[in-house]
């Protein structure tokens, strides 16, 4: 429980939003009990693009829902079922699917945010920056015309520059620096999902902005532990500089002494409670 006032009881339900062949993709809906209409936040889990599922971020999702937000935590394609940009296509489709059905959830299609944790942060930022990219918007939504634009982005210790993190991990291999024990696993996951360094560069909003690419720049809250060795600080700094230079707004929040995935590891810690409170406050400031 966070210190933010919990105003609503909630219901939790798993729903199929998309199917590839015989394999369904599910979302977990965290629904406030009430007339609404409620803003929507789409949650993208982490796991280095290759692991994790819609259950991973329950502590954050429940707090948001209890504050009066419809939260949809997605499953999306992961290797071997699909790498980049297939997951982005699933995410883009889910945003449109939820907007088209907002009335069924007592929710608002005009007040939608996207939240991503670790690798999901990269996916969230690209979903926000490229809502009409033909690769991302490749899956048709029958009979509907909703677009995939969003109104704010919540980034929780994101792999904000996949190529930058890949290069960082390669430099860690064989060293005695913090994170070296995980570097080879990070590299393997990058290779499985992205397939090439060119794709990693394409999937970086920082590099897209530096190349002069134009896209929507919704407000961003960026949250990270000060002791995080999985998400390099230079990549964070480069993103913030590029986003602000392009005219975007980024709110930075650092949490002293904690590393990557600190909310998932201990959602009751002081740092986790403070982090969740910051997310809830930002969402209501931007979407209410």
DSSP the chain: --SS-----EEEEEEEEEEETTEEEEEEEEEESSS-PEEEEEEE--STTTS--TTTTHHHHHHHHHTT-EEEEEP---TTT--TTHHHHHHHHHHHHHHHTGGGGTEEEEEEEEEEETHHHHHHHHHHH-TT-TTTT-S--TT-------SEEEEES----HHHHHHHHHHHTTS-STTHHHHHHHHHHHHHHH-SHHHHHHT-HHHHHHTT-------EEEEEETT-SSS-HHHHHHHHHHHHHTT--EEEEEETT--TTHHHH-TTSHHHHHHHHHHHHHHHHHH-
What pLDDT is attached to residue 146?
81
What pLDDT is attached to residue 5?
62
Closest to 46 measured CA to CA, from 260, 277, 228: 260
Residue located via tokens 């998309």: 18
| CATH class of domain segment(s) 10-287 | alpha beta
Determine phi and psi for 41, rounding to 5 degrees.
Answer: -125, 130
- Position 3 pLDDT exceeds 50: no
Rounded CA gap, 216 and 201, in Å?
19
What pLDDT is attached to residue 142?
84
What pLDDT is attached to residue 255?
97
Name the pLDDT band for 145 (thresholds 50, 70, 90). Answer: confident
Interval 45-67 mean pLDDT: 97
pTM: 0.96
- Position 26 pLDDT exceeds 60: yes
- Position 44 pLDDT exceeds 50: yes
Provide the greatest CA pair distance for the chain: 57
Q: Where are the domains of the chain?
A: 10-287
* Of 7 and 245, more confident: 245
């Amino acid at each position: 429980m966070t210190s933010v006032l919990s105003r609503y009881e909630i219901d939790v339900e798993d729903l199929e939003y998309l199917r590839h062949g015989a394999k369904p993709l599910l979302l977990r809906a965290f629904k406030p009990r009430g007339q609404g209409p409620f803003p929507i936040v789409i949650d993208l889990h982490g796991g280095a693009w290759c692991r994790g599922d819609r259950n991973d971020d329950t502590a954050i999702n429940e707090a948001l829902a209890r504050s009066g937000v419809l939260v949809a935590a997605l499953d999306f394609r992961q290797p071997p079922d699909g790498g980049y940009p297939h997951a982005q296509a699933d995410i883009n489709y889910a945003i449109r699917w939820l907007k088209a059905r907002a009335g069924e959830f007592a929710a608002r299609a005009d007040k939608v945010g996207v939240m991503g944790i670790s690798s999901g942060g990269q996916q969230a930022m690209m979903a926000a920056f490229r809502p009409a990219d033909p690769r991302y918007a490749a899956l048709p939504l029958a009979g509907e015309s909703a677009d995939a634009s969003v109104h704010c982005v919540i980034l929780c210790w994101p792999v904000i520059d996949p190529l930058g993190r890949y290069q960082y991990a390669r430099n860690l291999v064989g060293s005695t620096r913090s994170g070296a024990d995980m570097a080879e696993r990070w590299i393997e996951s990058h290779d499985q999902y992205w397939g090439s360094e060119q794709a990693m560069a394409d999937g970086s909003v920082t590099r897209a902005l530096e190349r002069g690419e134009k896209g929507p720049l919704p407000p961003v809250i960026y949250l990270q532990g000060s002791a995080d060795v999985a998400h390099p600080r230079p990549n964070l700094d480069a993103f913030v500089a590029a986003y602000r230079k392009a005219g975007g707004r980024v709110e930075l929040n650092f949490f002293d002494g904690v590393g990557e995935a600190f909310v998932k590891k201990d959602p009751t810690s002081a740092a986790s409670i403070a982090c969740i409170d910051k997310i809830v406050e930002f969402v209501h400031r931007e979407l209410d």
